[in-house]
Amino acid sequence: MPRGDLFPDIAPFETGLLPLGDGHVMYWEQVGNPRGQPVLFLHGGPGAGAGAVHRRFFDPTHWRLIIFDQRGAGRSRPLGELRANTTPHLVEDIETLRRFLGLEKWLLFGGSWGSTLALAYAQAHPSRVTGCVLRGVFLGRPAEVDWFLHGLRRFFPDAWASFVEHLPPHERGEILGSYLRRLTDPDPLVHLPAARAWSHYEGSCSTLLPSPETVASFAQDRSALGLARIEAHYFAHGLFLREGGLLAGMNSLTEIPAEIIQGRYDMVCPAETAFDLAAAWPRARLTLVPDAGHSALEPGVRTALVAAVERFRRR
């Protein structure tokens, strides 16, 4: 897939492992200008981890980009660990990283679950946030989780059939619980096939047009295990969000500017959610990409994301 609208590949100027307690160790990296404007990249999932391509949304001559893998995800250790892995833990991890790096404030950039975590962190620490760039908004409401588990069948019946057929017929009435039992089974012969099936389903539904490249990236064993196990764990616990959800906390963000980028045909996180968030956020600008699905690498979405980051650069 041509990606000429992104900035060139660049290596980090610093990487590290930060102990978090409870047996967790965070992988983090810094990219771009060491004296630049700080921006924090928040990956999706939960559990998906970050990759080299995510560095390319930011002009390295201007931004001091911080990327980290959340608990149990990517290069953080141990992979797929669910113990002490909740949204409040992740919010505190972000503060731990901010203090460790000696930063006063930063711009938040997150898509899908990354948008959820960005909102949770911004509501907990609004004085530390200069703004938000959010994509494919997910608020973690019960109806949104139900849509992922059941509603996607209306548009991707083939992908949904493969997803459900991984389970024996007598367990298909409780998709989430059945998958979670398999994903947390200690036997790799049980949890790895379940992780592949879950991740293949999500990857298959993430782009407007079929993308074997996207599906393959989701289905790699290491990324699949972190994504599927942690995602199912969070879904089973209401994303560990406070009562009333994220929209109930929007009064703390009234002075924070935001750019919301949303694919019109995002089937994983339908556009209705982005509209609900924009309606509750006085300083949010919503950009609807007319020919895109969920993935940050959809051509129209990535162009809009780069433009949104550049608008923050000029503020």
Chain segment 70-120, per-residue pLDDT in tens? 999 999 999 999 999 999 999 999 999 999 999 999 999 999 999 999 999
Within a domain: residue 6?
no
Domain co-membership, 231 together with 244: no
Domain co-membership, 206 together with 271: no
Residue 87 is part of a domain; what is its CATH number? 3.40.50.1820
Report whether pLDDT(58) > 70: yes
Domain co-membership, 134 together with 274: yes
pLDDT at 1: 38
Domain co-membership, 178 together with 310: no
- Average pLDDT across the chain, whole number: 95
Domain finish residue from 177, 212, 238: 238
> Known catalytic residues?
112, 266, 294
CA dist., res. 251 & res. 157, Å (int): 39
Domain finish residue from 200, 215, 238: 238
Domain co-membership, 300 together with 248: yes
Helix (H), strand (E), coil (C) string for the chain: CCCCCCCCCCCCCEEEEEEEECCEEEEEEEEECCCCEEEEEECCCCCCCCCHHHHHHCCCCCEEEEEECCCCCCCCECCCCCCCCCHHHHHHHHHHHHHHHCCCCEEEEEECHHHHHHHHHHHHCHHHEEEEEEECCCCCCHHHHHHHHCHHHHCCHHHHHHHHHCCCHHHCCCHHHHHHHHHCCCCHHHHHHHHHHHHHHHHHCCCCCCCHHHHHHHHCHHHHHHHHHHHHHHHHCHHHCCCCCHHHHHHHHCCCCEEEEEECCCCCCCHHHHHHHHHCCCCEEEEEECCCCCCCCCHHHHHHHHHHHHHHHHC
Domain co-membership, 193 together with 65: no
Domain co-membership, 204 together with 234: yes
Within a domain: residue 117?
yes
- Give the up-direction half-sphere exposure of residue 256: CA atoms within 13 A in the CB hemisphere: 28
Domain co-membership, 47 together with 127: yes
Within a domain: residue 126?
yes
Domain finish residue from 238, 269, 286: 238
Domain co-membership, 84 together with 121: yes
Within a domain: residue 21?
yes
Beta-carbon neighbour count of residue 257 at 10 Å?
19
Within a domain: residue 1?
no
Which sign does the torsion angle of CA 157, 161, 164, 170 carry? positive
pLDDT at 105: 98
CA dist., res. 35 & res. 62, Å (int): 8
Domain co-membership, 200 together with 115: no
Report whether pLDDT(221) > 80: no
pLDDT-derived band at 2 (thresholds 50, 70, 90) equals: very low
CA dist., res. 305 & res. 180, Å (int): 33
Report whether pLDDT(4) > 70: no
CA dist., res. 37 & res. 176, Å (int): 41
pLDDT at 3: 60
Domain co-membership, 123 together with 148: no
Domain co-membership, 109 together with 244: yes
Within a domain: residue 292?
yes
Query: How many domains are contained in the chain?
Result: 2
Within a domain: residue 2?
no
Within a domain: residue 5?
no
Single-letter residue type at 164: V
pLDDT-derived band at 211 (thresholds 50, 70, 90) equals: confident
- Write out the residue range of the structural domain in which residue 173 sits: 143-238
- Beta-bridged to residue 287, according to DSSP, are 261
